[in-house]
Structure 1
Amino acid sequence: MSEKVKYELEFPIQVSPSLLYQYISTPSGLSEWYADNVNSRGEIFTFIWEGSEEQAKLLTKKSDDKIKLQWLDDEDTAYYFELRIQVDAITKDVSLMITDFAEDEDEVEEGKMLWENMVSELKHILGSS
C-alpha cells in the first residue's frame, strides 16, 4: 500500500471560534455541512452519506480549538483528518484549518475540491461570505 499524501487548507470564516467549534465538533453541527447525518457513541463518530456510512474515531478534541478524527479504515496508521480553528493574534480574523490525507498525488485536488464545497456550505449556514 502506497503512502498517502498530506495536504492542508485554510478557509477564512467570519464567525466566533466558539460558534465555529459547535459546527466542527458535534454530530448535529457536522451533519449540517459535512455529511447527511452524523451520530456519535463515545469516541466513535458515524458519518452517513446517501446510504453509505463511514466510522471515525475521535483522537483529540479541544474546546474552541480543534477536533482530530481517524477513519477506522486507517486504524494503526498515522493518517487522520483535523479541523482546527486559527485566530490571528492581531486582526482576530478566524480561519478554519483543515489537514487531510489523499490516497495519492492525483487525488489531492479532488480532496481539496470536496473540502471547498463542504466549507462553502458551512459558510452559507453560518451566514459568513
Structure 2
Amino acid sequence: MATLSMSKKKLFIADYEIHASIKMLYPYIQTASGLAEWFADDVTINNEDKSFTFFWDSEEHKARLTAHRTNHFARFEFLPENDNDSRDPSYFELRLEFNELTQSVYLKVFDYSDFDDHKELHDLWDGLVEALRKTVGG
C-alpha cells in the first residue's frame, strides 16, 4: 500500500506600507491586467468559467477569485491539482487597509500554501510588493 506524502500548508502573513490610495491600488490586486503588472509574468482570465491563469516561469496556475470587496480585498483560491489540494486548497488574499492614526495605506498579504521555506517566501513577497510599489509610484 502506497503512502501519500502530505505536506502541511502554512499561513504566511505580512504587512507592507504602500504610498498610494486604496482606490488606485485596488485594480492591481483584483484584475488580471493589474496583477500582470507586478504579481506574475502574465495573468489571463477565462470568460467562460471566470478562472484566472497566472503564469510564472512558463508554468501556469489556475485560480478563482473566491471573495472580494471593492477597495478592500481580493482572495484567490488555486484550483486543485491533486486530492490533497481538493480537501485543503491553497490561496492568497490581498487586503488593503488604511491606518487612521498614521494616514498610511497597507497591503496585508495572506499566503496559504505548502511552501515550507518561510524566509524564501518572505523574500518572494518582498520582491513582488517592491514591483507593485514601482508600478504605482508608491
Q: TM-score, normalised by structure 1?
A: 0.90
Find the counterpart in structure 1 of residue 111 from structure 2.
100
Residue identity in the other structure for 2:97: Q
* Structure 1: stretches of 5+ with no match in the other structure: none
Of all paired residues, the percent bearing the same amino acid is 34
CA contact (8 A) 2:52 2:65 kept: yes
Greater helix share, structure number? 1
Give 1:52's match in structure 2, choosing from 59, 73, 96: 59
Determine the structure 1 residue equivalent to 2:3.
none
Q: Does 2:22 correspond to 1:17?
A: yes
Distance in 1 (CA, whole Å) between partners of 2:75 and 2:110 is 9
Q: Which protein has the larger Cα radius of gyration, Structure 1 or Structure 2?
A: 2
Q: Residue 81 of structure 1 is aligned with which of 88, 92, 105?
A: 92
Structure 2 unmatched runs, 5+: 1-5
TM-score (norm 2): 0.84
1:102–1:111 Cα contact (<8 Å) kept: no
Which deviations, in whole Å up to 9, do the C-alpha atoms of 1:63-111 show, x marking residues without a partner? 000000111133431532100001012332100000012425x412111
Aligned residues: 127
Q: CA deviation at 1:4?
A: 1.0
Equivalent residues of 1:38, 1:45 under 8 A apart: yes
Query: 1: distance between equivalents of 2:41 and 2:98?
Result: 28
- Report the CA distance shift for 1:44/1:76 in structure 2 as closer, same or farther (over 3 A): farther
SS of corresponding position for 2:101: coil
2:77 partner letter = Q
Over the residues paired in the alignment, what is the CA RMSD in angstroms?
A: 1.6
